């Protein structure tokens, strides 16, 4: 098992606020890791740090052994790291299919656009076919020609995943993929993500839905106020005192009458 992503003592500050402090985390190739924690614990910030949207105050992030934290976010994306957003915001003047085709960023030279030689046309056809296939898989074929902003929230989540998959990423970071998705569709989503994982993609998933985590993740990392307080299998979570304290507050430890522990 090779280490794919390595967060080494990273710290992030917004103004005077320390959002992440000395976080160290290692993700191996082929894992599915869940990232949990109460609101404000810094989960989205971890994703922003990995993808280069937020600069580090200290520490380093390595991807495949190579340091990526000083790189610009688009360079990090080109290295094979893709992410989805908690509240996906889609363009209003592009169709779902066009957006999916656009998410593959290779070969977008201006001269190629103008000359449109045989190679360019073939790449276009390939992109088109791949986009269609992904939309079919994610049950978005029916909305392929609608404006991307007009589809439902759950569909936008699926579209984000389709876009992320266009380039066969090595690492896929998902920010609350089930939020806003109908409970009936969650099973399908789990199946989709397992299939993607089967194609060799490493997943890091921020989630609150414990059932989802238990079904999908090999391992969980729990954050509280910017630090990791647990790193274990999903089944072990509800026995972890620190996790319970973080989520429920220390008052949960008050003696409960009539309870067999």
Among 92, 184, 199, 251, binds other proteins (CB under 8 A): 92
Closest CA to 130 of 170, 100, 156: 100
Is 94 among the residues that bind other proteins (CB under 8 A)?
yes
Q: In this chain, which of 98, 168, 188, 218 binds other proteins, going by CB under 8 A? A: 98
Choose the binding region for other proteins from 62-70, 72-80, 197-205, 219-227 (rule: CB under 8 A): 72-80
Question: Which own/partner pairs from 140-144 qualify as long-range (CB within 8 Å, at least 24 positions apart)?
Answer: 140/96, 143/96, 144/95, 144/96, 144/97
Listed ranges 55-63, 105-113, 210-218, 220-228: which one lies at the site for other proteins (CB under 8 A): 105-113
By CB under 8 A, is residue 14 in contact with other proteins? no
Q: Residue 80: which of 174, 189, 201, 162 has the closest Cα?
A: 201
Minimum separation from the CB atom of position 16 to other proteins (A): 15
165, 101 contact by CB (below 8 A): no
User: Which position among 57, 60, 71, 112 is part of the footprint of other proteins (CB under 8 A)?
Assistant: 112
Interacting residues with other proteins between 138 and 197 (CB under 8 A): 145, 147, 163, 167
Task: Verify binding: residue 119, other proteins, rule CB under 8 A.
Answer: no
Radius of gyration of the chain (CA): 20
How far is the C-alpha of 248 from the C-alpha of 21, rounded, in Å? Answer: 22
Single out the segment in contact with other proteins by CB under 8 A; choices: 63-71, 95-103, 184-192, 230-238. Answer: 95-103
**In the structure encoding, which two tokens stand for residue 128, read together?**
């088109």
Name the nearest CA neighbour of 246 among 65, 2, 39. 39
70 near other proteins (CB under 8 A): no
Site for other proteins in 26-65 (CB under 8 A): 51, 53
- Rounded to whole angstroms, the Cα distance separating 133 from 195 reads 14
Q: Mention every residue, 6+ apart, whose C-beta is less than 8 A from residue 199.
A: 168
The C-alpha angle 170, 43, 89, rounded to 5 degrees, equals 75
Q: Name the minimum Å distance from CB 123 to other proteins.
A: 8
In this chain, which of 41, 44, 45, 103 binds other proteins, going by CB under 8 A?
103
As measured in angstroms, the least distance from the Cβ of 176 to other proteins is 16
Tokens of 33: 């890791």
Using alpha carbons, select from 56, 5, 60 the residue that is nearest to residue 29: 5
Using rule CB under 8 A, residue 17 touches other proteins: no
Question: Which residues make up the interface to other proteins (CB under 8 A)?
Answer: 51, 53, 72-75, 77-78, 82-83, 85, 89-95, 97-99, 101-110, 112-114, 116, 120, 123-124, 127-128, 145, 147, 163, 167
């Amino acid at each position: 098992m090779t280490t794919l992503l390595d967060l080494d003592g990273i710290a992030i500050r917004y103004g005077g606020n320390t959002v992440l402090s000395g976080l160290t985390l290692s993700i191996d190739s082929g894992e599915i890791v869940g990232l949990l924690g109460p609101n404000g614990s810094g989960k989205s910030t971890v994703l922003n740090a990995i993808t280069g949207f937020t600069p580090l105050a200290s520490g380093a992030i390595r991807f495949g052994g190579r340091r990526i934290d000083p790189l610009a976010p688009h360079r990090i994306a080109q290295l094979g790291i893709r992410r989805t957003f908690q509240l996906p915001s889609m363009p209003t003047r592009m169709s779902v299919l066009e957006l999916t085709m656009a998410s593959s960023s290779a070969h977008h030279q201006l001269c190629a656009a103008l000359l449109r030689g045989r190679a360019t046309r073939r790449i276009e056809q390939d992109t088109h076919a791949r986009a269609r296939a992904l939309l079919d898989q994610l049950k978005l074929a029916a909305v392929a020609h609608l404006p991307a902003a007009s589809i439902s929230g759950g569909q936008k989540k699926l579209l984000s995943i389709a876009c992320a998959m266009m380039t066969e990423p090595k690492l896929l970071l998902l920010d609350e993929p089930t939020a806003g998705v109908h409970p009936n569709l969650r099973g399908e989503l789990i199946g989709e993500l397992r299939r993607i994982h089967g194609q060799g993609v490493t997943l890091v998933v921020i989630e609150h839905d414990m059932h989802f985590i238990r079904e999908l993740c090999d391992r969980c990392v729990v954050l509280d106020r910017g630090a990791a307080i647990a790193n274990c299998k999903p089944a072990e979570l509800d026995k972890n005192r620190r996790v319970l304290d973080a989520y429920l507050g220390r008052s949960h430890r008050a003696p409960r009458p009539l309870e067999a522990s």
